[in-house]
Amino acid sequence: MPITITAPKAVRPSYATADNASDDSGSDSSSDNGADLEGDIPMTSSSRRKEDKSYSIVTPGEVITDDPQWMRGHGTYVSASTAAIVSSVAGTITRTNKLLSVRPLRARYTPEVGDLVVGRIVEVQAKRWRVDVGGSQLASLPLSAINLPGGILRKRTETDELQIRTFFAEGDLLVAEVQQLFSDGGAVLHTRSLKYGKLRNGVFVAVSGMGGGGGVVRSRRQVWTMEAANGAGPLDVVLGVNGFVWISKHVETPEALVAETKSATTGITNLEESVSTTMYSSQNDRIGIETMREIARIRGVVTALVENGLRVDEDMLVRGYHEAVEMALLSGGGADDIYLGGERGEQLAAALTGV
Amino acid sequence: MPLDTSAYSLALLRVDGRRWNELRRIHAQIRTQAAADGSSYLEMGHTKVMCVVTGPSEPGPRRGTTGGAAAGASKAAAEVAVSVVVAGFSSVDRKKRGRGDKRNLELQSTISNALAASLHTHLFPHSVIQVSLHVLSQDGSLLAALINAATLACVDAGIPMTDYVVACTAGSTSTYAAGDESADPLLDLNHQEEQELPGLTVATLGETDRVAVLVCESRVQVGRLEGMLAVGVDGCKQVREILDRVVREKGKRMVLEGTVVKGEGLEDMDLD
């Protein structure tokens, strides 16, 4: 009795062909990025790489070069017997001056200092939390690296340690920034800004992040507020560099709240308390049906983008959302039609890439 | 049903019509499960297996231990945890194999050791690489298929490794009892041959002759072993070519689709 798994669909028309085609014809970017390659030492290139060289894919165990002038970077190792630089992952070669590294086709997120990440608390310890950010190790968030209630910058006290679970408990989602990296790859996060902190009033989507293979890319803006269609009001979108995405109803940021209360001439202690009570609340606000629907639509756009191998960034997501709203109106189902899987997703991707 | 060995000597064709040095059809896919870190599907003839890799990731606090961080904190390298599930419908006789089945445990530890030797686990301290293998259909060379599928899934997951670990089986044309010293070696045994004839599973590290796994569970004269091993290692090189092509095709497709940024390549460096 044969077991069959249906063959995958035929190869889709590639959306990026136009700019690839121009790249293929002798892109000579090497001369202007400062790579100073003197000496006429020929590179060894196996016959296998020759045939694929326009794509420059290397696979594990493939010798990249045995020229000692190069330094090995991520995704490579030096073979013990021949001292050649060998690829250890399947991916594309990148080089920075004399440093050769291989960017994997896909991998888990590797944290870098300054990254904006969305994470989930998995463990509460005495003076810190352990946060799942989709990397190979859990990141840690020390108690001293969060905004403690009652004054933005104050030292932590023993009382804070005792009520550590009132700030974040297991399963809570938060947005934070990578503050520091350990040599073994572990990351330390901080939320010492009013833009960071606990997440509520929204929905979480995990897609692949900066590790490679599409998904969220590092860009100028990872967090923005967009006006949703169909009377849903403004929505917040947080694209964590680690590929975790948060879409929520827009609530007045604490800064705005502070400014408001200041103008209303309330006491300074009063307003700080009001800020801190909302900051660590796990209670959702009232969210209207329209808002929920539009949040779900944006989530559908994110998954459709990923399924069709497109990057997820502000521009793509905003355009994709408007396209999706149009598609829903045209489909006859009206605004309630938020389905964006299968052919609808492909249609969306095609519309976005202009194929 | 006894293997018709007399027919082999006449036409030099095996029961399924292959010559002694031919592999069965190998079909492989990577990235079959979108949600997994790495996944693959592999067919070697009618042996069909599926693999999903999760990780490297740090396990959360484990139940029953006090202070979850202490559970795996002292590890300097990632642990490779392999689980093999053999589907009840995978072979001709429907047999339920439990979790503690000895054959399963041996498969798991063999695969785990082979992968741990090739993967650069030292890059991921405190973490676990979880490899789940599912056997959908069995027709011989099961261990070889499992190793190949696991390697592909690890490549897909982007876990750094020294080289592919590729496996294949080799056998001999006559039984141990026949004591036939002039027996030919055979490549890639199917289920029927595996039942009747002596055979071994060999895995090598990529194109090199370095043997990563060598398992022989049947009686065979030592004189025939060298020939079998040589044929097996040669088969592994063929398998590597096939798997490598699968990975390259996928990579090429991803570059064309724009999912992955095009590499800068080294060819323009040849010029200066």
Tokens (6 digits) for B52: 């999903």
Strands B128-137 and B79-86: parallel
Given this model, what pLDDT does residue A1 score?
59
Q: Which residues of B touch A28 (CB under 8 A)?
A: 268
The CATH H-level (homologous superfamily) assignment of domain A116-353 is Nucleic acid-binding proteins (2.40.50.140)
Instruction: Write the pLDDT tens digit of every residue in A302-349.
Output: 988 888 878 888 988 999 999 999 888 888 777 788 888 888 888 888
Q: Where in chain A is the domain with CATH 2.40.50.100?
A: 1-105
Question: Is pLDDT above 70 for A235?
Answer: yes
Q: Which residues pair with B185 in a beta bridge?
A: B172
Q: Which residues of B touch A40 (CB under 8 A)?
A: 272
A220 to A115, A241, A315, B21, B157: CA distances (angstroms):
11, 11, 11, 57, 28
Given this model, what pLDDT does residue A24 score?
39
A127 and chain B: CB distance < 8 Å anywhere?
no
Given this model, what pLDDT does residue A49 score?
43
The number of C-beta contacts closer than 8 angstroms across A and B is 208
Strands A234-239 and A197-198: unpaired
Q: If you count DSSP H runs as helices and E runs as strands, how many of each does chain A have, helices first?
A: 8, 19
Question: Is pLDDT above 90 for A255?
Answer: no
Nearest to B57 among A48, A61, A136 (CB): A136
Q: Which of B137, B133, B162, B169 is nearest to B150 (CA)?
A: B133
Instruction: Write the pLDDT tens digit of every residue in A170-203.
Output: 999 999 999 999 988 899 999 988 889 999 999 9
Given this model, what pLDDT does residue B76 score?
84
Domain A1-105 CATH assignment equals 2.40.10.220: no
Q: Which residues of B touch A92 (CB under 8 A)?
A: 251, 255, 260-264
Mean pLDDT, range B115-129, rounded to an integer: 92
A10 to A6, A36, A131: CA distances (angstroms):
12, 43, 40
Q: B 71-90 residues with CB below 8 A of A?
A: 78, 89
Higher pLDDT among residues B61 and A12, named by residue: B61
Q: B 175-204 residues with CB below 8 A of A?
A: none
| Residue A256 binned pLDDT confidence (cut-offs 50, 70, 90) | low
Q: Are A206 and A134 in contact (CB under 8 A)?
A: yes
Question: Is pLDDT above 60 for A169?
Answer: yes
A217 and chain B: CB distance < 8 Å anywhere?
no
Strands (E), chain B: 26-30, 38-44, 47-57, 79-86, 128-137, 165-172, 185-187, 199-205, 211-216
Q: Which residues of A touch B41 (CB under 8 A)?
A: 5
Mean pLDDT, range B178-201, rounded to an integer: 88
Q: Which of B215, B226, B177, B182 is nearest to B2 (CA)?
A: B177
Given this model, what pLDDT does residue A185 score?
85
The three-state secondary structure class of A257 is helix
Q: Which residues of B touch A20 (CB under 8 A)?
A: 255-256, 258, 262
Separation in Å, CA of A74 to nearest CA in chain B = 9
Instruction: Write the pLDDT tens digit of every residue in B138-168.
Output: 999 999 999 999 999 999 999 999 999 999 9
Mean pLDDT, range A75-81, rounded to an integer: 90
- Rounded CA-CA distance B178/A181 in Å is 65
| Other C-beta atoms lying within 10 Å of the C-beta of residue A112 | 13
Q: Which residue of A has its CA nearest to B156?
A: A106
Question: Using the beta-carbon criterion (under 8 Å), do A61 and B163 form an inter-chain contact?
Answer: yes
List, as one string, the DSSP characters of A120-148.
EEEEE-SSEEEEE-SBSS-EEEEGGGS--
Question: Using the beta-carbon criterion (under 8 Å), do A185 and B120 form an inter-chain contact?
Answer: no
- Rounded CA-CA distance A298/B116 in Å is 41
Q: Are B30 and A82 in contact (CB under 8 A)?
A: no
Q: What are the φ/ψ torsions at residue B266 (nearest 5 degrees)?
A: -110, -5
Question: Is pLDDT above 60 for A33?
Answer: no
Tokens (6 digits) for A159: 């009382």
Q: Which of B83, B197, B225, B94 is nearest to B146 (CA)?
A: B83
Higher pLDDT among residues A266 and B258, named by residue: B258
Q: Which residues are CB-neighbours of B231 under 8 A, at least 6 positions away? A: B20, B21, B170, B185, B186, B187
A303 and chain B: CB distance < 8 Å anywhere?
no
Report which secondary-structure segment, H or E, holds A238. strand A234-239
Instruction: Write the pLDDT tens digit of every residue in A266-290.
Output: 445 555 555 566 778 888 888 889 8
Q: Are A157 and A151 in contact (CB under 8 A)?
A: no
| Residue B41 binned pLDDT confidence (cut-offs 50, 70, 90) | very high
The CATH H-level (homologous superfamily) assignment of domain B27-62+69-257 is GHMP Kinase, N-terminal domain (3.30.230.70)
Question: Is pLDDT above 90 for B82?
Answer: yes
